[in-house]
Structure 1
């Protein structure tokens, strides 16, 4: 599954930028092949220009990227993070970043790191002083929040993309069902009217049969049967009308969901 096939990457970029602006943490999203799908937000010179700019530092950074997950301390003493972007049980990418200090730095220790990595110590310390400082709790909470938001939005986009056609078809079928229900209502009312007329005819026939005496006995039996049938029909039609009312209510509720969309 390729996240590019269903995700509006600008939405992902907007979330990422807002997250970085609010927390000070750097962030960037990648697909399953490690290819960038957003532009980096709030990246620091300390990490990108100097640490990763040195051969040894970049090698160590790549090792950290490959071996760590969640929030963790990188080799240079900063805190980074890596969160999975999941659609169901399938991973479709990651958001990685961090580049923050969990406490005020010991500049002498970082000077030693600079020498070890072959970086000018003064330039390294100047860049270090621009790195945001956040508590470990803030960093963990921020990453968990980003994870929840990104995964919610990505799954919503996936659902909309894969089920949009089905929802459209369902909406059309609901409209068709509504039309059919209206026809059933019309036909049921007509049949109910016919049943009432049959009942009246049966009553009139029974009266005429009674007036005819013995000659009308057979006709009276038929008239009674017609009356019974019309009564049964009226009951059935009444039950149909009740069922139609229930179905109509359900259809209207479903239709209202699409109108809200």
Structure 2
């Protein structure tokens, strides 16, 4: 089960507004009032507090002890019912407690009263003065300044404070929840912005690597073309060598025939002619071997060129995909920036 957030009165209600309302309420009704937080105590200045209560009753040790007991009992009654509690204090005045409830939890109250709901019995109050140890005449003099308010009007006043306090606390609570959700949304937005930035950097790095691969593929294809052209040039040279070797072989053969005709005089020349023919045959064989090797090189170069072309095509497709991703990330980045700005505006409007 999710734990409810614990709030203070000043977390949800503007205390300046609360103070102004409280002062206006007291001036209009003649009743005293003060706002309290369950943890922090008083959160506003007292409004229209009477000398009877503050100077004399609460000003004495015994009187203050009795007042605190009344305050606790009144607060408990209001907390148990979740409604305003109107009660008579130990000194005979009428007080009330209007609870401030948020999400089913009482966080404070507006306390008030310090009025009479009927003309007082002065003998009774003289008795109280003696019990709490204050001057009877001064006590009665202060009593006579107490406003007399019908009980129904006191009940209505307490209910009005209850409605007001809980209405503005509810609005404050909703604003607070909105602020919390906005903060969560901002955290998500910031995380999204950072992730977009990270992905953009990765994509940019990958795009550079692709560009480098394209460059290498271009160079490889160019080198392959150059090598094939050089092989073609070598083919021409080998053809020339074969032609020369063939002609040399024919010349050697003719020389051998002529040396045979010369008889004893051509014997030495016949040996030379044979060696020339052997060299011609060896040249032709070597040329064929070189041609075979070069043919193999050409086949390999063609294979390399084919694979390079395929790679070039795949890399080109990847480059187009990276470009498309970069454009989408740029759009997301713009959206994220606008979102951050809107969240900032929303937070400013809430506060």
**Aligned: 1:147 with 2:162:** yes
**Aligned: 1:91 with 2:97:** no
> Which residue among 37, 46, 51 is the counterpart of 2:43?
37
**2:341 aligned partner:** none
**2:14 aligned partner:** 8
Total equivalences in the alignment:
173
Structure 1 position 5, deviation (Å): 2.4
Partner SS for 2:177: helix
**1:235 aligned partner:** none
TM-score (norm 2): 0.46
TM-score (norm 1): 0.62
**1:245 aligned partner:** none
Matches within 5 A, 1:242-261: none
Query: In the TM superposition, what whole-angstrom CA distance separates every residue of 1:31-80 from its partner, at most 9, and x where no partner exists?
Result: 11251111111100000110011111111111111112300000000001
Matches within 5 A, 1:118-197: 118-164=133-179
**2:96 aligned partner:** 81
Which consecutive residues of structure 1, in runs of 5 or more, have no partner in the other structure? 170-257
Structure 1 position 164, deviation (Å): 4.4
Tell which deviates more after alignment, 113-122 or 1-10.
Answer: 1-10
> Which residue among 23, 33, 39 is the counterpart of 2:29?
23
Counterpart Cα distance in 1 of 2:161 and 2:136: 34
Structure 1 position 115, deviation (Å): 1.4
Structure 1 position 4, deviation (Å): 2.2
Counterpart Cα distance in 2 of 1:57 and 1:5: 33
Superposed CA RMSD in Å reads: 2.3
Counterpart Cα distance in 2 of 1:6 and 1:83: 16
Which consecutive residues of structure 2, in runs of 5 or more, have no partner in the other structure? 1-5, 78-84, 186-345
Query: In the TM superposition, what whole-angstrom CA distance separates every residue of 1:175-218 from its partner, at most 9, and x where no partner exists?
Result: xxxxxxxxxxxxxxxxxxxxxxxxxxxxxxxxxxxxxxxxxxxx
**Aligned: 1:59 with 2:65:** yes
Structure (1/2) with the larger helix percentage:
2
**1:237 aligned partner:** none
Structure 1 position 139, deviation (Å): 0.5
